[in-house]
Amino acid sequence: MELDVSGLVCPQPVLVVRRCLAELDPGEELVVTGDYPPAARSIRRTCYKHGYDVATGSPVEDDGTFTVRIRVTESATLTESVADTDA
């Protein structure tokens, strides 16, 4: 699944990603693109914290855009609690 969070600033990108990940099954992948570099860090941190696999590499390009590739694992523990955001 692909998700574009361009134009959104924190905490919105993290919230949108969390909602999408909650709908995916283990083994499925979410590819997130955006244009707000702090969101890339927040998305990665949230995914690491909740047990998702996040592809390594530089998440932010020279023009400020980013792509984060996230794979849902069996051990992922993401809830949709808005109060528990990392942004």
Q: How many CA atoms lie within 13 A of 28 on its CB side?
A: 10
SS3 13: helix
| Residue 75 C-alpha from the chain's centroid | 16
Active-site hit among 8, 10, 20, 24: 10
Q: Is 10 among the residues known to form the active site?
A: yes
DSSP, res 24: P
CB 68 within 8 A of CB 85: no
Which residues are catalytic, by number? 10
